[in-house]
Structure 1
């Protein structure tokens, strides 16, 4: 990352275009494949004996909610409830 910043600061990306591209690709590449492993680990917790009869779609939604727990914690529950009731209100 420091080398990539140094190339950018000194305007050397025109001189070393391939090095610049390779460094940017390297910094964006994840070191491991932990997101897939984490999703399977979370899926074991979500799909237990009581939920083994639920549909595939609902199971996928629950797994996503469990995996993205940090985003879910930052969510304003009151807004979600109000939005849900507004969309599902019987007319």
Structure 2
């Protein structure tokens, strides 16, 4: 593979990872919806059980990764942006 193609691939992958880190919940929704669509339109010929198990597994894994990203790391302090003061 030529260096220019390899560099483009790396840059595209980095951009993808950056977007996923910025919007983990949206990424989770896209993955789940894509799997459902592929099964629904017959691209993937999975049984109902296989589809359910795959969606459950992806929800668990992506939910864990999403929670790590969106869980607050500290306490809210009154008087800061977004806090009501009376």
User: TM-score scaled to structure 1, two decimals?
Assistant: 0.31
User: TM-score scaled to structure 2, two decimals?
Assistant: 0.32
Structure ranking higher on relative contact order (CA contacts 8 Å, 6+ apart): 2
**Structure with max Cα Rg:** 1
